[in-house]
Amino acid sequence: MITRRNFLRLCTAAGVMAGPLASLLGAQKSGSNRPNILLMMADDLGYECIGANGGTSYKTPNLNRLAAEGMRFEHCYAQPLCTPSRVQIMTGIYNVRDYIDFGSLPSDATPFSQLFKEAGYATSIAGKWQLGMDRTMIRQLGFDEYCLWSLEADEKTPRYRGPTGFIQNGKELPADKNLYGPDVVSDFLLDFITRNKTRPFLCYYPMLLPHAPFSPTPDSPMRQNGSERGGVFTRVKNIFGGKEPKKTQYFPDMVAYMDKIVGKLAAHLEKLGLRDNTLTLFTGDNGTSQNIHSMLGNKEVIGAKGSTTTRARSASLSALFSAGRGGK
């Protein structure tokens, strides 16, 4: 039987690409207790933003716990921009071999989702797509269910407060100013996991957070007309000494909310008794935005997304797979 350590090595080598997963699925296809997969990929979150990596600017207790209880990789590199990384992680092939254009996935690609579906997994994707403007392609790529933004809508449509342009299983969700986009897609995954808890499943979660525009989250300290209320609202000026806050002031809140969602998914797996048999992976698509300054220990790190430096390509990667509490 494959050990936990060898399983992690197979799945995380080369950045969780399709090649190792294909080998794994071939070996495990006939097994009766195949592991579930939860793959989360943050949007514009550099290595320096995670407390487990030495970052001190943001609160990431759930990601820190994932790293402490599982495996944390110190040398994980993505591409410096969104689409190239998304193509690469979906196909397991370096961009020099199959990258076409921004916002496109090669038509002849064999994404890891197809491999899991062929192996009998229930498959889902939720979050940011950005790999083609055709909702019919999602199921052709091996995903049984989906809830996606940046599928057919312009990327200027709201993804956070009052989200629009979200397509779920072929239908566009109605706009609702009281909703928060990251909650919409993460709640979709919770429901998918619940409905498929008795069979092996794949959840691919290319997250919305913490990509710009930097804006308040439902947990940001808010007030309107002197009274607090739920939802996403504008900060009052006195929070920042009577001055309008810089847009980057909301970035820590967005990182914290992203971490909260990671914790929400982990708690749901625990509640359903699925944590021990679920490989949970967290990584990022590229470095932090260039207007974000963070601290890594006592060193200031300036975001470098879009450049060809290490700061633009260094991504956090943590993995947890228990295989039973005594698993090795």
pLDDT per residue as tens digits for the range 42-51: 999 999 999 9
User: Tokens 């430096």 label which residue?
Assistant: 309
pLDDT per residue as tens digits for the range 157-176: 999 999 999 999 999 999 99
Residue 255 main-chain phi, psi, to 5 deg: -65, -45
Residue 226 has a pLDDT of: 34
Residue 21 has a pLDDT of: 54
Residues 201-210, buried b or exposed e (16+ Cβ, 10 A)?
bbbbbbbbbb
Q: Answer whether residue 64 shows pLDDT above 70.
A: yes
Residue 237 has a pLDDT of: 36
DSSP H or E segment with residue 69: helix 61-69
Residue 275 has a pLDDT of: 95
Q: Answer whether residue 36 shows pLDDT above 80.
A: yes
Please give the average per-residue pLDDT across 217-232, as a whole number. 55
Apex 13 CA angle, 12 and 17, nearest 5: 75
User: Tokens 């679920």 label which residue?
Assistant: 278
Interatomic CA distance for residues 313 and 292, integer angstroms? 15
CA atoms within 13 A on the CB side of 186: 25
What's the CA dihedral at 73, 77, 80, 85 to 10 degrees? -90
Nearest Cα neighbor of 119 from 10, 4, 21, 1 is 21
Residue 328 has a pLDDT of: 35
DSSP H or E segment with residue 188: helix 181-195
| This prediction's pTM | 0.85
pLDDT per residue as tens digits for the range 84-113: 899 999 999 988 888 888 888 988 889 999
Residues 222-261, buried b or exposed e (16+ Cβ, 10 A)?
beeeeeeeeebbebeeeeeeeeebeeeebbbbbbbbbbbb
Q: Answer whether residue 326 shows pLDDT above 70.
A: no
Q: Answer whether residue 9 shows pLDDT above 90.
A: no
pLDDT per residue as tens digits for the range 127-141: 999 998 889 999 999
Domains of the chain: 4-214+253-320 (3.40.720.10)
The two structure tokens encoding residue 176: 């609702």
Residue 314 has a pLDDT of: 74
Residue 325 has a pLDDT of: 44
Q: What is the DSSP string of 245-262?
A: PPGGGGHHHHHHHHHHHH
